[in-house]
Structure 1
Amino acid sequence: MEFKNEVLLYKSIGQVLSREIADDIEYYKLDALLEGRYNIYFDKIEHITNEHILRIINQHKYEGFFTGSTYHEDNIDFDKFVVFVNENSNFEGFYNKYKDRFNFINRGNNFYEIVPVGFSKASGIEYLINYLNIDHKNTYAIGDSTNDLSMLQFCSNSIAMGNSTQSLFEHVSYITTNIDDNGIYNALKHFNLI
């Protein structure tokens, strides 16, 4: 987390654990991308068959973010990652090995976002409001997916986009219109923020 060009909060999982996880992604036959502070790591291009990962790579190439870094590099270091489970995966084995150190956020369709225990969007917001001495009643969160659930449950004023994952609706104080139908604007107007 950065504020006024200063890093306030950052949690790397370190090179040793990063290497272990990268090796286990291959061992347990998962498709993945590993997200670090300075780099995003993929499998070697010739090994990737997952259409979602290929789409992300193409998007990163288009936007100029793709560096070609793979999770076979010696100095790999990341802070969170996502996995896609395929028909050959042993997800249960991977989950059982890491469930005590990581939270597995089920994003649906055999897609999981995985973050270190104790670190979430909610913990980031909590850190920031304490750092800036902001009253909790003045917290707002807008989300659309299960990876937003922690912050939506934490903030006093929680907003789901109209096109959100349906399971979010019961956890928010307001449902706005779809993202492409001025959803954020309408939410901010609803709460008299603009």
Structure 2
Amino acid sequence: MKKKALFFDYDGTLISDETHTIPKSARKVLNKLKDKGYLLFLNTGRTKAILDPIISELDFDGQILGCGSYIEYHDKVLYDVDVDKQLYEAIIQKVAECHVDAFFEGTHALYMTHGIQSPRLLNLLERYHDANMVMKSVDDLEDDFVKMFVSYQDLDKEQEFHDFIIQNFEYIDRGQHCAELILKGHSKATGIQFIMDKLNIDIENCYVFGDSNNDLAMFRFVENSALLGNANEHLHEEVMHVCSDVDHDGLMEAVNAFQLL
């Protein structure tokens, strides 16, 4: 029997956006899938530094982090990339010039700009602090980052920063004048391709589960795709199944739609 691999987004797919916990129903589904012998992978935009400790309680075979920029399989690092010094120094300068609130997400820490005002970023900081994640000033940044999350203080500078950063980063609009930035050449889809090549898994035996815009690359790459929650209506046409959110047994609904259990 050929191996089947299942790839799960984290925020909004496994963990509730309302309670910031993993519902018991989702844990139960993952345990059943593991017992069936499927390969289970976390496939998240989060980097290792801001991965919830609760993830260690889930029995994943591997992790694709930072939208394909860091890959582990059975606790062995298979792929890891960083931004080079010349580029990150230029980015830091442009962030300051354009008055951008920014998180620089790395493997070892989350680095942040000074004087963050964005309510969205402040809310994330509170969550990360409560989870005892390593957070540092952008002054301590070296080459340990591959992703950014930005929020614009000066909307007149938004286009200028956008035009600068898209030379080296994929730009995902997250609404409310915020954006997720991913090093070019990387996505949740490239992470899946890497695992497919490494483990000799056919694409028809891959299944993906997500809920938002940064899952679009894997939705378009893997036909067996499920969207949890129906808030992002523009994604409906990109997936095979649209299911309830994770708080309302959406993960079980998605798994059953593929007849995996």
Same fold (TM over 0.5): yes
Does 159-168 or 124-133 show the bigger shift? Answer: 159-168
- Aligned partner letter, 1:61: H
Q: Could you report, residue by residue, the CA deviation over 1:111-150 in whole angstroms, capped at 9, with x for unpaired residues? A: 1111111100000001111111001101111111111100
Q: Which runs of 5+ in 1 are unaligned?
A: none
What's the counterpart of residue 26 of structure 1? Answer: 96
Q: Could you report, residue by residue, the CA deviation over 1:79-124 in whole angstroms, capped at 9, with x for unpaired residues? A: 0101112344512112222322211011222111111111000000
Equivalents in 2 of 1:36, 1:74: separation in Å?
A: 9
Paired positions, count: 191
Q: Could you report, residue by residue, the CA deviation over 1:151-171 in whole angstroms, capped at 9, with x for unpaired residues? A: 011012011112442211110
Deviation at 1:182, TM superposition (A): 0.8
State the identity %: 28
CA contact (8 A) 2:105 2:111 kept: yes
Q: 1:1-194 counterparts in 2 under 5 A?
A: 1-44=71-114, 47-67=115-135, 69-73=136-140, 75=142, 77-194=144-261
Q: RMSD of the TM alignment (CA)?
A: 1.6
Aligned with 2:140: secondary structure? coil
Question: Could you tell me the TM-score, scaled by structure 2's length?
Answer: 0.69
Aligned with 1:65: secondary structure? coil
CA contact (8 A) 2:117 2:153 kept: no
Q: Which runs of 5+ in 2 are unaligned?
A: 1-70
Equivalents in 1 of 2:108, 2:156: separation in Å?
A: 28
Aligned with 1:49: secondary structure? coil
Aligned with 1:75: secondary structure? coil
Change (3 A) 1:144 1:74: closer
Equivalents in 2 of 1:23, 1:31: separation in Å?
A: 12
Aligned with 1:187: secondary structure? helix
Question: Could you tell me the TM-score, scaled by structure 1's length?
Answer: 0.92
Equivalents in 1 of 2:245, 2:163: separation in Å?
A: 37
Deviation at 1:76, TM superposition (A): 5.1
Deviation at 1:74, TM superposition (A): 5.3
Does 73-82 or 148-157 show the bigger shift? Answer: 73-82
Change (3 A) 1:126 1:162: same
